[in-house]
Amino acid sequence: MGTRFFNRENIESNGTSPSRYDIDSEIGSGEYATYTVHIPVTPDNQPSPMAIQLERRASRRVEEQYTTNSIFTGGHNCVTRAHVMDKVIGTDSSHPQMAGAKGSVCAIQGCDAKIMSDERGEDLLPCECDFKICRDCHYDAVRTGDGICPGCKEPYKGEFDLAGVDDGRVLTLSSPVGVSKAGEFDQNGWLFETKGTYGYGNAIWPKEGAGGDGGNDNVGESSQLLSKQWRPLTRKLSIKAAILSPYRLLVLVRMVVLGLFLTWRIRNPNEDAMWLWGMSVVCEIWFAFSWVLDQLPKLCPINRYADLNVLKEKFETPNPRNPTGKSDLPGLDMFVSTADPEKEPPLVTANTILSILAADYPVEKLSCYVSDDGGALLTFEAMAEAASFANLWVPFCRKHDIEPRNPESYFNLKRDPYKNKVRPDFVKDRRRVKREYDEYKVRINGLPDSIRRRSDAYNAREEMKALKLQRQNKNEDEPLENVKVPKATWMADGTHWPGTWVVSGPEHSRGDHAGIIQVMLKPPSDEPLNGTSIDAIPIDLTEVDIRLPLLVYVSREKRLGYDHNKKAGAMNALVRASAIMSNGPFILNLDCDHYIYNSQALREGMCFMMDRGGDRLCYVQFPQRFEGIDPSDRYANHNTVFFDVNMRALDGIQGPMYVGTGCLFRRTALYGFDPPRSKEHHGCCSSSCCFGQRKKKPASVAHASEEEDSSSSQGLRETDDELSLSLLPKSFGNSSFLIDSIPVAEFQGRPLADHPSVKNGRQPGALTMAREPLDAVTVAEAISVISCWYEDKTEWGRRVGWIYGSVTEDVVTGYRMHNRGWRSVYCVTKRDAFRGTAPINLTDRLHQVLRWATGSVEIFFSRNNALLGSHRMKLLQKIAYLNVGIYPFTSIFLIVYCFLPALSLFSGEFIVQSLNVAFLTYLLGITITLCLLAVLEIKWSGIELEEWWRNEQFWLIGGTSAHLAAVLQGLLKVIAGIEISFTLTSKSAGDDLDDEFADLYLIRWTSLMIPPITIMITNLIGIAVGVTRTIYSEIPQWSRLLGGVFFSFWVLVHLYPFAKGLMGRRGRTPTIVFVWSGLIAITISLLWVAINPPSGSSDIGGSFQFP
């Protein structure tokens, strides 16, 4: 066990990196010195070619093993440390890729290092005598001991191939490019025109003049490749004209009817109640305006289809450029974010990670990064348990084609698990894996208690040591003082946890701890690795690839006094760390409770990115699907109208919005670059067509002068190319590793140049090289880029990465990309791509809607308002984003309108002078067109009528509660500068194990419930008062009563799910029931008095006359 200290000054932007010996290996010392040992080459010191090759390969193998078994920590004003861990969790680790995997110890006296091992984790013994020796001792024996084995004292025989790792290719930087004629540094030109740039990744760069751009550059391509019939990876499926044409016609008809109705309402005021008429007209005008904003972007819905067979044929089938048929798909980095293990159970997060590790995507191209923003040891050890169980779960899924690949969801399936399974050992394997999974769940559920007991034991030991030391240093007659030992949280190897302690301490609290990176599963070997019969696994895996994707635990540094920008800041930290460690050109982010339900979803998303024109796609958004929702979907938790109607319609314009999870990003789009050929695409519906063309400006990372803050508009304006390149750290930070990786990621993300029409493509077979192994210097650099100070004076969060300044950072981030001219795609798979959980409790649901609506208000009052969008965004897309910022303000008018029926009943007046034929005709026309539009939306979107109706109900519930609070909070932030804070939505289930939907019946009081309750009570009392007044009036106004009662009934029907939620579980009687019972009793009493009046009364009710 030991600790390395990395000097940050050696990992700077000068392009050099420290050797593995630039380390002070003294343990426990606060002072350290950096030194480098240089052994000059002399005539007496000439290494042999075999020794040089042995040194290179062995060094990589051992460095990677060291990196995997170390936990890296560091941050602001502190040194980066790599602490070797003997074990990560209490149980033994058997998989060779697993951090802390068991290995033999070197037999050389005085050396306790682990011996060399192969991809399976088996010992590598260089001598026939099987003497166990580590890499350093073996190197000394070869170089200084004349090649004599320390065990048998005989010379080593033959060449010992340790790793079989191909030597990496170092790519030199070509002459700088990307300076515009105006002298402004064009970062897009630098990105898309660079021919060969040093960086990280697995790419074969095209030769000078070879086909890198498609078109005429493909002359040198194989004639066999170009003569083959070209097939697209995706197809666009239009909605049937028999449905879409009437739909568009009805939209036009309803707009005309609304216009005529509002005109009639304005010209025919109610002279008896002008105040009532005025409020109603203003509300109705706003409702019509809001409906138009919502409806116009729905005019162009489309469906899409991805062909996985063509993807396999193009990227994983032998061809002249790729004779072996090795996967040519680009790398993919998966992000999973979690922040609080109490509200986001570690078992849920761990199962999400298992579904990622088992996804049907090339293992060597897939990486998974887990962001623990709480820095909790509980999450860390849960991830280690998941990595250990993946050794069994992932090969089991591959062997038997398991779906879904989340073990909890799979073992809880209500359908027959043996359907379509033909292997005779499936029943036995499933039974054994189920038993292992039950034990795995028990271990994770027992982690909190295990960590507590372990920490208490170690803290008691430290207190005893401190007390003993105090007794030794004091005289016998001096009284002993109370020993104060910090209540630390301890890891499984007996060392302090560098993150958040259970009992918070200095530099170990939720908002104050060091940055942490732990490689849980090291990068897999490049070739398939089948299991063996001797593996300690309860199922036969001799024909199954047992490799696992790269898995990395990341907890960014947090310090007091820094704004860490919540989830957006955590995502940006993952973007930087992943760029240095794996640099996948595509990124897919998931919430911790959203798992992969369709193992081929990643391939379907990649079809769009790799298709012709896919280089202009910034992201592929998948719909969100939820589990654990009550069958009636009382609070519209499935949100199908938004995901299946609005998002599908936006796909026909410029693309769907980014909704926070289940989104496949292009890395360079997140970096803030403009799309390639951005000046060639404006679209027939762009705002420039309608409002004129703005003066064009040179392309840059983003149009700072149009939509960014003025400080970033200075740009990179240097005439000297090298000076311009040196200014890139102003946008991305001072990490040369990160900057060098950007062009590589862009090149790897290009579609194949397999057709003359494919522009900005790459050669087939360019991504078949092996990935370089991780080393300690790379992980140390990753530690530096997740430090809290790294983003200072950079564009991270303003133009680069996830955008800061809003609680709905997802919408803003997607808006910025669309505003730069990028397109997005909506990928609706036949089998749901991802599934997650949603709050079914009324209070949690209202708080969730409050958070979304507050973010929309922030967007409206910020520079991200669609009214300030650039000319590159299409007009209908602008309208959709404008609606996002405006819809919460509808709550003001909606609440007023919900009180109008009661006010009408109280006053005896109505919003119109009388229920004449014109008013009823307009009302009937508006209602019929709305119903017909709903029917046609159901037809082309595939949703159900009940789902549409639930959405309408919750629109009113949310509009009268959470949306109004969001408007007030947004105004307070804009006017008074009061920041808004929200708590995480709990992902844990209810305490009632017998009822799956126990949370549905829980009643947690919140002030958001006050407006809807007031509206319901007011309308009920208004009905009672209106009926009583009409019955006992000398000249009853039945038409006004009917109008008021009808609209009151319309309000109450929409609020019925809210009222039902207040009732709680059947069989229990909350207080609200008694309130309702009293109101109903009063109403019935009044009606009984009207039907059977007291003696002496006559002519009650007069005569009923309908106009």
Catalytic residues: 373, 810
Least Cα distance to 52 among 142, 158, 154 occurs for: 142
784: nearest Cα among 792, 200, 61, 65: 792
Q: What is the dihedral of CA 252, 258, 263, 267, to 10 degrees?
A: 160
For residues 317 and 330, give the distance between their C-alpha atoms in angstroms, rounded to a whole number: 15
- Residue 438 token pair: 């039950």
Relative orientation angle of helices 1056-1063 and 1038-1054, to the nearest 10 degrees:
60
CA 556, CA 367: separation in Å to the nearest integer?
A: 18
Residue 404: cis peptide before it, omega within 30 degrees of 0: yes
Q: What is the dihedral of CA 191, 193, 194, 196, to 10 degrees?
A: 130
Q: Which residue in the block uniquely carries the two structure tokens 């001219």?
A: 821
d(CA 639, CA 633): 9
Instruction: Say how far apart CA 4 and CA 24 lie, in whole Å.
Output: 6
Give yes or no for a contact between 996 and 948, defined as CB atoms under 8 angstroms apart: no
Q: Are 888 and 293 in contact (CB under 8 A)?
A: no
DSSP string, 996-1023: TTGGGG-----GGGHHHHHHHHHHHHHH
665 CB contacts (<8 Å, ≥6 apart)? 586, 587, 588, 589, 618, 619
Residue type, 212: G
With a CB cutoff of 8 Å and minimum separation 6, the contacts of 698 are 180, 182, 184, 186
In angstroms, the CA 612 to CA 608 distance is: 8
What token pair was written down for 259?
């216009």
With H, G, I as helix, E, B as strand and everything else as coil, classify residue 480.
coil
B/e letters for 285-297, b = 16+ CB within 10 Å, e = fewer, are ebbbebbebbbbb
Q: What residues contact 886, with CB distance under 8 A and at least 6 apart?
A: 290, 293, 856, 860
CA–chain centroid gap for 432, Å, is 33
Distance of CA 103 to the CA centre of its chain: 36
What string of DSSP letters covers 1033-1046? Answer: -SS--HHHHHHHHH
Cβ proximity of 644 and 623 under 8 Å:
yes
* Burial degree of 185 (CB within 10 A; 0-12, 13-18, 19+): buried
